[in-house]
Chain A
Amino acid sequence: MVNLETKIGKIRLKNPVMAASGTFGPEYGELMDINKLGAYIAKTITLNARIGNPPPRVCETPSGMLNSIGLENGGLDDFIKNKIPALKGLKIPLIASIAGDDAIEFKALAKALSKVKKIAALEINLSCPNVKHGKRDFLIAQDEEATYEIIDAVRRSTALTVIAKLSPNVADIKRIAKAAEMAGADAVSLINTLVGMAVDIDTKRPVLGNVMGGLSGPAIKPVALRMVREAYNSTKIPVVGIGGIMDYKDAVEFMLCGASAIQVGTANFVNPAASIEIIDGIKSYMAASGIEEIKELIGALKT
């Protein structure tokens, strides 16, 4: 028997496969067994409701897709009143994802969500490329000090496991990961999407209503692997690998580069059962390679 159990901060996952924030919801319960996942990450919420960006919000690009949803969500109260009760059949750890304009908003979200019994951890979305945060003209995760300030504020507001979600749109991911670790993050997850755009030559307009969007899917996997490895080598906290994972081979690549767990995003849209197939694939891979504990895989890249 192989053991897939992995640990992120204070939470234990029965397997390392989660569905990435914003790419998954209770709707998929009709098509697959959500309780087979390692954990459930809800779509990012903000303190107040956000209407989101104008259409088109998505478009396919070679081996990938762009999105500019713009964090459409009903806000904190809607999340607690409507979204969490809709997950009452959930038997796996629930991770809430939060974003805000400043430390005050992040603190308020962290405090309120810490009182919700069902929530096991917080993923701090410092890296959504599709929204403007207050007066800032950069993403929180593009700046070491801002990353430190927000994670520090969240850390002081909650005893829950804190995962800092980082952006690939940076010059040096090592410094940002380090800042999150120093501020008390239990783990870092990366990568969020790469900023990109698509152009329609007939209309001579950008395809997306918001002009720019976040690139995801297999196209970004090589960038994600490189950054996961850098984050793994520069911090002592667990790294959650994200970026174009479509099958178990991709997942194993991320683990070899240092990921203690992984998140499946765009693949859910292509195949809602992708995560389940990845879990089964990792099991078979471990059995075939004589690996009993998933820990043996994490960071086992030979260089």
Chain B
Amino acid sequence: MKQLKVKIIEHKRIARDFYKIRLRSDSLAKKSKPGQFVEIKCSEGGEVLLRRPLGVHSILNDGIEVLYEVIGKGTESLSVKKKGDLLDIIGPIGRGFELYGKKDPALLVAGGMGVAPLLCLAEKMNRKKIRSYVMIGAKTRSHILCEKEFKRLGCFVMVSTEDGSKGHKGYVTDMMRHLLIVIRCRVSGIYACGPHPMLKAISHMADASGIPCQVSMEERMACGVGVCLGCPVKVNSGGYKMVCKDGPVFDSKEIAW
């Protein structure tokens, strides 16, 4: 973990409120692992104060990419930054994903923006020649992100939308139930990122099927490094763990859903 000034190499809007930013940094390229995140200072002065925690989306030879959605004042200020601007970043931070064996394919399940850290994981699996199924769920067709990118990495991609505008009509968890319980497809492990209720459902299904599962959790953060104790998640061993320092990736059995 370092505090860095990094240059924006590319910054583009890839869908309605979704942006992808490419940052030049040898240190982040070398040290980042799938599942880790960075804390970005989105604005100098003004009323936006805290850094925003954003997942590492892709690890390049000379930097990283971050995918984000504009949801408030912080990400709004970030979205107007231009190519060539310098960003104040702390990272990489937190515990990332750990790979299970490669005997069976892995199952990656993303809800909405949950694709962000999972693409980075798929890149690593591609390098390690681990096959993978990828399930992407979103509200509607225009919110399905990274389908092409996953396919380019050789993943078998399945899509669901709540309104049925693309792929299966319903939730990703329906597709997951079909894959694991109805047709009993063998997978080495599940990696999931998305809204809390989705992660909860996935965790229960993983338990019921006896499949190991890692989840990437999200919580409002202040410091991002484990100092302020502002981003707790309740765990089965009693009390709370911090999403920033102990996570953001947890074994799903650790979490008190």
Contacting pair B240 A28 (CB below 8 A): no
Contacting pair A23 B227 (CB below 8 A): yes
Q: Is A25 an interface residue (CB 8 A)?
A: yes
Contacting pair A55 B232 (CB below 8 A): yes
Given known A-B contacts A31-B1, A31-B90, A55-B231, A60 and B223 have beta carbons under 8 A apart: no
> CA A52 – CA B239 in complex, angstroms?
8
Which residue of the partner chain A has the closest CB to B242?
Answer: A72
Residues of A contacting B: mostly: loop
Stretch from B44-52, B110-118, B172-180, B203-211 at the A interface: B44-52
Q: For residue B41, which residues in chain A have a CB less than 8 angstroms away from its CB?
A: 270-271
- Report the minimal beta-carbon distance from B39 to chain A, rounded to whole angstroms: 9
Q: Is B76 an interface residue (CB 8 A)?
A: no
CB-CB contacts below 8 Å: A62-96 with B: 62-65, 67, 69, 72
> CA A52 – CA B232 in complex, angstroms?
9
Q: Is A138 an interface residue (CB 8 A)?
A: no
Q: How many residues of A contact B (CB 8 A)?
A: 34
Contacting pair B230 A69 (CB below 8 A): yes
Binary contact readout B90-113 vs A (1 if CB under 8 angstroms, 0 otherwise)? 100000000000000000000000
Inter-chain residue pair count (beta carbon < 8 A): 98
Q: For residue A22, which residues in chain B have a CB less than 8 angstroms away from its CB?
A: 228-229
Contacting pair A58 B47 (CB below 8 A): no
- Report the minimal beta-carbon distance from B91 to chain A, rounded to whole angstroms: 11
Contacting pair A72 B49 (CB below 8 A): no
> CA A55 – CA B2 in complex, angstroms?
27
- The one of A62, A63, A268 in contact with B223, judged by C-beta atoms closer than 8 angstroms, is A268
Contacting pair A60 B48 (CB below 8 A): yes
> CA A218 – CA B2 in complex, angstroms?
25
- The one of B47, B220, B233 in contact with A63, judged by C-beta atoms closer than 8 angstroms, is B47
- Give me 29 A-to-B residue pairs in the complex whose CB atoms sit less than 8 angstroms apart, sorted by A's number: A22-B229, A23-B228, A30-B1, A31-B1, A31-B3, A31-B225, A51-B240, A52-B229, A54-B232, A55-B232, A56-B219, A57-B229, A57-B230, A58-B221, A60-B49, A60-B50, A63-B46, A63-B49, A67-B228, A69-B230, A72-B229, A269-B222, A269-B224, A269-B227, A270-B41, A270-B49, A270-B50, A271-B3, A272-B90
